[in-house]
Amino acid sequence: MKSVSLQKLVTVLILMSGMTHATNEKPPNILFIFTDDHALNAISAYEGPLAKIAPTPHLDRIAREGMLFKHCLVSNSICAPSRAVVLTGKYSHLNGQLTNKDMFDGSQQTVSKLLKKAGYQTAIVGKWHLKSTPTGFDHFEVLKGQGQYYNPLLFTNGKNVKHTGYTTDIITDQSLKWLETRNADKPFFLMTQHKAPHGRWEPALRHLEVFEDMEIPEPPTLFDNYDGRTTAPAQHKMGIADHMGPHRLMFQYSSKFTPEQFKIFDGHFRPLNDAFEKLNLQGKARTRWNYQRYIKNYLRCVKAVDENVGRLLEYLDDNGLANNTVVIYSSDQGFWLGEHGWFDKRWMYEESLHTPLIVRWPGQIQPDTTNTDLVSNLDFAQTFLDIAGARQPGDMQGLALTPLLRGKTPANWRKTHYYHYYEAGGHGVPVHYGVTDGRHKLIRFPDDTLDAWEFFDLKKDPNEMQSRYGDPQYTRTIAALKEELNRLRKQYQVENFENP
Could you tell me which of 77, 73, 95 has the C-alpha nearest to residue 421? 77
Compare residues 79 and 114 and give the one whose CB is closer to Ca ion. 79
351 binds Ca ion (CB under 5 A): no
Compare residues 28 and 147 and give the one whose CB is closer to Ca ion. 147
Cβ at position 305, least distance to Ca ion in Å? 13
125 and 193 in contact (C-beta within 8 Å)? yes
Compare residues 76 and 383 and give the one whose CB is closer to Ca ion. 76
Quote the strand ranges of 276-374, DSSP E. Answer: 325-331, 357-360, 369-371
Stretch that binds Ca ion, among 6-14, 34-42, 176-184, 407-415 (CB under 5 A): 34-42
Compare residues 81 and 233 and give the one whose CB is closer to Ca ion. 81
Cβ at position 83, least distance to Ca ion in Å? 8
Q: Is the dihedral of CA 231, 235, 238, 242 positive or negative?
A: positive
Cβ at position 344, least distance to Ca ion in Å? 9
Which 280-299 positions form the footprint of Ca ion (CB under 5 A)? none
216: DSSP letter: P
Compare residues 43 and 442 and give the one whose CB is closer to Ca ion. 43
495 to 95, 210, 286, 447, 454: CA distances (angstroms): 16, 49, 45, 16, 20
Cβ at position 80, least distance to Ca ion in Å? 8
Cβ neighbours of residue 206 closer than 8 Å, sequence gap 6 or more: none
Stretch that binds Ca ion, among 33-41, 272-280, 284-292, 473-481 (CB under 5 A): 33-41
Compare residues 199 and 430 and give the one whose CB is closer to Ca ion. 199
Cβ at position 86, least distance to Ca ion in Å? 12
Compare residues 99 and 324 and give the one whose CB is closer to Ca ion. 99
Angle at 29 between CA 61 and CA 83, to 5 degrees: 80
Cβ at position 331, least distance to Ca ion in Å? 7
Interface with Ca ion: number of residues (CB under 5 A)? 4
Stretch that binds Ca ion, among 20-28, 75-83, 121-129, 459-467 (CB under 5 A): 75-83
Decide: helix, strand or coil at residue 131: coil
Cβ at position 100, least distance to Ca ion in Å? 9
Q: Residue from 31, 50, 79, 312 that binds Ca ion (CB under 5 A)?
A: 79
Cβ at position 377, least distance to Ca ion in Å? 11
- Give the residue closest to Ca ion by C-beta: 79
Cβ at position 358, least distance to Ca ion in Å? 17
Stretch that binds Ca ion, among 8-16, 37-45, 245-253, 354-362 (CB under 5 A): 37-45
Compare residues 36 and 102 and give the one whose CB is closer to Ca ion. 36
For the chain, first and last CA: distance in Å? Answer: 81
250 to 38, 132, 213, 276: CA distances (angstroms): 20, 31, 17, 12
218 binds Ca ion (CB under 5 A): no
Quote the strand ranges of 36-158, DSSP E. Answer: 67-69, 72-73, 121-126, 139-143, 153-156
Cβ at position 333, least distance to Ca ion in Å? 5
* Distance from C-alpha of 81 to C-alpha of 114, rounded to nearest angstrom: 20
37 binds Ca ion (CB under 5 A): yes
Cβ at position 476, least distance to Ca ion in Å? 37
Decide: helix, strand or coil at residue 338: coil
* Distance from C-alpha of 145 to C-alpha of 131, rounded to nearest angstrom: 7
* Distance from C-alpha of 365 to C-alpha of 329, rounded to nearest angstrom: 15
Compare residues 85 and 365 and give the one whose CB is closer to Ca ion. 85
Stretch that binds Ca ion, among 79-87, 379-387, 473-481, 489-497 (CB under 5 A): 79-87
Q: How do the residues of the chain divide into helix, strand and coil, expressed in percent and rounded to 5?
A: 40, 15, 45
Compare residues 288 and 346 and give the one whose CB is closer to Ca ion. 346
Decide: helix, strand or coil at residue 435: strand
Decide: helix, strand or coil at residue 421: strand
Stretch that binds Ca ion, among 29-37, 307-315, 406-414, 488-496 (CB under 5 A): 29-37
Stretch that binds Ca ion, among 73-81, 95-103, 353-361, 396-404 (CB under 5 A): 73-81
Sheet holding 139-143, edge to edge: 159-162, 153-156, 139-143, 121-126, 188-193, 29-35, 325-331, 357-360, 67-69, 369-371
36 binds Ca ion (CB under 5 A): yes
60 binds Ca ion (CB under 5 A): no
Compare residues 67 and 328 and give the one whose CB is closer to Ca ion. 328
Cβ at position 389, least distance to Ca ion in Å? 31
96 and 141 in contact (C-beta within 8 Å)? no
Element (H, E) at 260: helix 259-279
Q: Residue from 138, 202, 332, 464 that binds Ca ion (CB under 5 A)?
A: 332
Compare residues 208 and 304 and give the one whose CB is closer to Ca ion. 304
List of residues contacting Ca ion (CB under 5 A) = 36-37, 79, 332
